[in-house]
Amino acid sequence: MVPKKSFLIFLSCLMFFYCKNNSNKYIGSIEVLDNKAYNFISSSSNVEVLASGFSWSEGPVWSSKLNGVIFTDVPENKAYLWTEKKGLNIFLNPSGKTGYPKNSAKGGANGLIINSKGELIVCQHGDRRLAKLKDWPSDNPVFETVIDNYKGNTFNSPNDLAISKDGSIYFTDPPYGLPDQDLDSLKEINFNGVYKFKDNKIKLLINNLTRPNGVALSNDENFLYVANSDKNIPIINVYEISNDTLVNEKMFFDGSNLAKTKKGLFDGLKVHSSGTVFATGPGGVLIIDSNGKHLGTINPGSRVANCAFDEKEDFLYMTSDNNLTRIKIN
């Protein structure tokens, strides 16, 4: 006879793996506002739940090396790897709050990206820095600091990032990792910036957005998209890149009307090879053409933090609150 305590432990473990690896479940809905949306999704498209049970999933990036998607759970200070063959496994623990520096913020890693050298670049909320992993996956990952300050002042909590072909890292630094955000005593920079880092030099690009969050480069790398996650100013801006500066600031998309009735704020965004922007925001993932026209929305049934394509753009992977989801792309 199995002891009651042992049976309960077994049942708890079984429930954990069932919740975390929750494939073949479909949720949400698709809203088509323009027929051009059918270039990416079909009327029969479904949002598939791949895994669930997270506190706040974030920062997905596709890994060709591992043939899967790596993403973070910010409050839990963990990162996960999901693959078609093996399902879900812990990838990093801890992911972004490792004890560096002593006065660290809350939460783990957020945005992730892989550079041309194959290094994994990590936005670490808790450690308030950009860090990199040269050797991964690893049972004993060693984080190396890329940059942790602007003019001697510690970053707020680096959030999301994009990398150009020449290795320039564009990243946002809102205060979400600080317990009291803008009013927190740990905050050393009196604005929430967007930066460019290249050849060990840091350049401030934007200091007038209230909550800079998602960031992405156009395919020709001539333009930078930046999402502002402020319920009072829910916008996506686009800037022309001129050497080490941004010029010709324009509002790419105004989400004010959507934010009145839909859940969620602008967060992460990715640019499809067609130039179409997939932006997480009010109502789900907005499909926006290069002229700023809203073509449709993918709604996974909950707020969406970020998204990422696989290398062939067969699927869009979405970190949707407590879920990891995906949808087939045409």
| Residue 199 CA: distances (Å) to CA of 2, 166, 244 | 61, 10, 12
Domain ranges within the chain, ordered by starting residue: 23-328
pLDDT above 60: residue 2 = no
Would you state the pLDDT for residue 20?
Answer: 63
Q: Are 154 and 128 in contact (CB under 8 A)?
A: yes
Using a 10 angstrom Cβ sphere, with 0-12 exposed, 13-18 middle and 19 or more buried, the burial of residue 182 is middle
Residue pLDDT, tens place only, 182-227: 999 999 999 999 999 999 999 999 999 999 999 999 999 999 999 9
Strands 78-83 and 269-271: unpaired
Q: Is the peptide bond before 101 cis (omega within 30 degrees of 0)?
A: yes
Lowest-confidence segment of 5-19, 38-52, 85-99, 268-282 by average pLDDT:
5-19
Q: Is 15 helix (H, G, I), strand (E, B) or coil?
A: helix
Enclosing H/E stretch for 62: strand 57-63
Domain 23-328 sits in CATH at 2.120.10.30
Task: Inform me whether the pLDDT recorded for 43 exceeds 90.
Answer: no
Which pLDDT does position 170 carry in this prediction? 98
- Looking up tokens 């319920």 gives 231
Q: How far is CA 190 from CA 210, 240, 250, 272, 274, in A?
A: 11, 25, 24, 34, 38
Q: Give 286's contacts (C-beta < 8 A, 6+ positions apart).
A: 253, 255, 258, 277, 278, 279, 280, 294, 296, 297
Contact 287, 246 (CB under 8 A): no
Average pLDDT rounded to a whole number, residues 81-91: 98
Quickly tell me which residue has 């957020």 as its tokens.
Answer: 110
Amino acid 102: pLDDT: 75
CA angle 280-316-48, nearest 5°?
Answer: 100
Cβ proximity of 91 and 79 under 8 Å: yes
Q: What is the mean pLDDT of the chain?
A: 93
SS3 110: strand
- What integer pLDDT is reported at residue 18 of this predicted model? 44
d(CA 308, CA 288): 15
